[in-house]
Structure 1
Amino acid sequence: MQKKMMILGASALQIPAIQKAKELGFQIILVDYDENAPGFPLADVKLVVSTLDQEEVYRQALIYQPDVVITSTSDGPVRTAAYVNERLGKTPDLSYEDSLCATIKSYMRDRLKENGVPIPAYYAVHDFEELKKAVGELKGYCIVKPADNAGSRGVVLVDVRNSGGQAADSKKEVTDLIEIDNDKLKEIYEYSKSNSRNGIVMAEEFMTGAEVSVESMTVNGETTIVTITDKFITPPPYFVELGHSQPSELPEDIKTAIRKVTLQAVKAIRLQNGPSHTEIKVTESGPKIVEIAARLGGDFITSKLVPLSTGVDMVGSSVLLAAGEKTDLTSRWERGSAIRFISGIPGIIKRIVVVEDIHALEGLEEFVLYKKAGDVINGTKSSNDRLGYVIASGKTAREATDTAIKALKFIHIDMEEE
């Protein structure tokens, strides 16, 4: 009898996992709230259901009886998959309780703190008054973000030294605090809360230093770190990822420290089998965890950059692991890869011109545009605001990055004010 795999999410980022599951001969049951999700044409069974609706997904699982329920690159569905697998009586690779610690930042911070993993100072706040108190405790210079979301949605730097909520030079000492501008701070609170699925907002110490992500796979409780990715973020007050490069160009001693902290974090969330994506800031006092996710890295980090830089198929390995098959995480080569996203200023896209010479760039692997003429752009406040991307490869991370940056110069976005 053909085995069945229920995959939560049918977005473009999930398609590599869907394709791999089909190659393995699974009947594919796809779940997504968007009836036009690009992965749905690959489905044997198409279910237009929110991947966050645990009870409805469970009800559908009782009907279709999948052998396993998985997700690929999305945070919220990690909880749903854990919940449904437990309710179906399957041995979970991540328990539902532990899935909360891998997806909800307040739970995550508590679990990491309990296990002695380096993290920033933090407060989980439930109303505006609690936020004001937390901002005061953090000396008026902190990150405010949703406890339950991803993709930089609702993330803002608060600096009460500069007329309430404006960004300042992160290298300066926090001195001469001014009175909190209540209106601006409340606007930030409401923005973050509106992006938090559970209504909880986090206020955290603002960490400075290089930022990386660590791409790992855990098999029977043993974690293999495949690679470390350098991350490139927009300036404050919003923190949107505009690029990733592999392998990290940080010094070896720092990368050794990053690996140590990563393994501590994976152990703390009790992941038994599956991928993890750990974001880390390299502060003056050493690496500290920004977030850890029990899933593959998004932004094409694991689906495209990792294969280009290492030859490791992490997407395929995650599906094989979920299916109870053996995985091979051995690096086949050491090369470089990079992705750079296209950003725009607020307004309406007048036209997009791509210079034909872009196709002749050596090392350019792919470029994609999400937007078209007439689309309204809100600036770059979250990953949803990005206009497209380019991916490049090279002998080294630097070579791949240079090619990606060069490719961006061949793409011209003409804007007009709304």
Structure 2
Amino acid sequence: MKKILVLAAGILQIPIIKKARKLGYYVIAADGCADAPGLAYADKAIVANITSEEIMLEIARKEQIDGVIHPCSEVAMNVMGRINDEMGLCGISRETAVRATNKHLMRLAFEEGGAPSPWSTCFENVEDAWKLYCDTDTQEMILKPSRNSGSRGIAKISKDLCKTEFAELFERSKAESRDKSVMLEQFVKGPEFSVEIIVWKKVPYILTVTDKKTTEAPYFVELGHNQPSCFSKADVEEIKQAAYKGVLTLGLDCCAAHAEIKLQDGKAYIMEIGARLGGDFISTELTHLSTGIDMVAAAVNVALGIKPQLEATEEKHGVCIRYFTPSPGKLVSISGIDCLKRDSSIYDYEIYCSEGDIIREVRSSTDRNGHVIVVKKTVEEAIARAEQILQEVNFNVL
């Protein structure tokens, strides 16, 4: 029986742990939190610091694993790469992992390889960033952490900021960055997408393109996703080609990949590419519902060096996820929730808050308060029903 080590055991990792066991593999789940919910679903649970290369490498050797996966997260990507290097396992190297989790290094790789992406510069010091901000003619820019995810610390800025305002936003991004550096880059105006990919033997297999719904500036928090894309064939092909080239440029292999791309005036720009399954249920639920392809099983298999099944084995649907984002304040009550229980088109839902909780302004993905996944015959029907549900469920706040 092959053994796979799953780094992290939170809610988003549970489908991967379950799937790996269903495929007949022995699953070892590791997390730094003893209460991590995914630990209960593994064959063996280990509480350890998954961001420590030495600790996790020692565990991997002791357990004699055949593969390692770090799904829907990036905090321990370098650990996964180091284990692959030291044990000769299938998957990305540590060098590739570092490049795929540092947005600055990623931008440099895209520039060198000719993959389409915005211009970008990385700073540790606010004074240096302020100088470039003042010297450039670009009217709209983005400040973002060089190492983070989930829309944390991102802010859109324009040329009318005073130095104090700029410094506040810079320090906010820096506080969210795992390496305490901040990127100042071109703002690409247009719709945002993700591309779900499996890379096997250095060939990227694009499974689908996901349309994204986000908040407006300055935070751009993701509020929902649709599959398949509602955009034209020409737009979708442009997005796919950019993602394909980006994956090759980064040197990803034997892994899942999640590319985030924006489209401006018909041209695709790569925002970033993660060497992992996408979060927000995109890879774990939406992709198999819309394509019929079990992306989770494919990701588990490539991590073990097993050729993935990339043909549809399930029925294809239109699918949509929307997040509940009530107004800030103290939550008094939730009404209309019965509609979530009696609608057969609802594939899954969850409310993350309770009466008495304080609802925060939506500045990152951690500020969302629930989700609903709707499955219909077409994506347009799924979107319409999901948006209707957002109106039917009322979060009453003071």
- 1:241 maps onto 2:222 in alignment: yes
Partner of 2:24: 25
Paired residues of 2:51 and 2:75 also in contact (CA < 8 A): yes
Cα distance in 2 for partners of 1:50, 1:141 equals 40
Higher mean displacement: 115-124 or 68-77: 68-77
- 1:324-371 CA-to-partner distances (Å, cap 9, x unmatched) read 223211235542100000112222222222342333334221211111
- The whole-number CA distance in structure 2 between the counterparts of 1:354 and 1:77 is 40
Alignment partner, residue 133 of structure 1: 131
Unaligned runs of 5+ in 2: none
Deviates further, 226-235 or 338-347: 338-347
1:185-209, CA deviations, whole angstroms, 9 ceiling, x for partnerless residues? 1111111001000011111111111
Report how far residue 22 of structure 1 moved: 1.3
Counterpart pick for 1:311 among 255, 276, 292: 292
Give the aligned partner of residue 12 of structure 1.
Answer: 11
SS, match of residue 102 in structure 1: helix
Instruction: Report the equivalent of 1:80.
Output: 79
Deviations 1:269-303 (A, max 9, x none): 11121111111100126001011011111100111
Match of 2:268 among 287, 298, 314: 287
Aligned residue number for residue 105 of structure 1:
103
How many Å separate the matches in 2 of 1:404 and 1:34? Answer: 34
Matched residue type, 2:66: D
Distance 2:228 2:282 in 1: 11
Q: How does 1:245-394 map to 2 (within 5 A)?
A: 245-284=226-265, 286-331=267-312, 333-394=315-376
Q: CA deviation at 1:391?
A: 0.3
Q: Which amino acid aligns with 1:120?
A: P
Q: CA deviation at 1:92?
A: 4.4
Partner of 2:43: 44
User: Hey, what's the Cα distance between the residues in 2 that align with 1:140 and 1:130?
Assistant: 18
Structure 2 distance, partners of 1:25, 1:362, is 31
SS in structure 1 of the partner of residue 207 of structure 2: strand
Secondary structure of the 2:279 match is coil
Say if 1:358 and 1:410, in contact at 8 Å, map to a contact too: no
Q: Hey, what's the Cα distance between the residues in 1 that align with 2:151 and 2:291? A: 27
Could you tell me the percent identity over the aligned residues?
Answer: 34
Structure 2 CA distance, aligned partners of 1:264 and 1:182? 38
CA distance in structure 2 between the partners assigned to 1:24 and 1:139 by the alignment: 51
Matches within 5 A, 1:149-168: 149-161=148-160, 164=161
The superposition leaves residues 66-101 of structure 1 with CA deviations (integer Å, 9 ceiling, x where unpaired) of 22221111122222211122123x144211111122
Structure 2 Cα separation of the partners of residues 307 and 21 of structure 1: 16
Is the counterpart of residue 414 in structure 1 residue 387 in structure 2? no
Note if contact 1:361-1:403 (Cα within 8 Å) is conserved in structure 2.
no
SS at match of 1:193: helix
Q: Gapped runs of 5+ residues in structure 1?
A: 165-180
Counterparts of 1:74 and 1:346 in 2: how far apart (Å)?
A: 28
- Report the alpha carbon displacement of residue 237 of structure 1 after superposing the two structures with TM: 0.7
Distance 2:73 2:188 in 1: 25
**Who is 2:70 aligned against?**
71
What is the letter of the counterpart of residue 112 of structure 2? E
Give the alignment's TM-score, normalised by structure 1. Answer: 0.91
In the alignment, the residues of structure 1 paired with residue 266 and residue 210 of structure 2 have an alpha-carbon distance, to the nearest angstrom, of 20
Aligned counterpart in structure 1 of residue 165 of structure 2, from 180, 184, 193: 184
CA positional deviation for 1:252: 0.7
Number of aligned residues: 396
SS at match of 2:192: strand
- Separation in 2, partners of 1:397, 1:221: 31
Q: Given that residues 138 and 186 in structure 2 are in contact (C-alpha distance below 8 angstroms), is that contact kept between their aligned partners in structure 1?
A: no
Cα distance between partner residues in 1 of 2:14 and 2:290: 20
Whichever residue aligns with residue 155 of structure 1, its letter is: I
Distance in 2 separating the partners of 1:134 and 1:93 = 38
The reply on whether 1:123 has 2:121 as its aligned counterpart is yes
- Give 1:216 deviation, angstroms: 0.9
Offset from partner CA, 1:117-164 (integer Å, 9 cap, x none): 111111101111121023222635211010000000101111232xx3
Read off the aligned partner of 2:353 and give its amino acid letter.
K
Q: How far 1:221 sits from its partner (Å)?
A: 1.1
1:232-258 residue CA offsets vs partner (Å, 9 max, x unmatched):
000111110000000111111111111
Farther-moved stretch of structure 1 (333-342 vs 19-28):
19-28
* 2:67 and 2:90 in contact (8 A); partners too: no
- Give the aligned partner of residue 197 of structure 2: 216
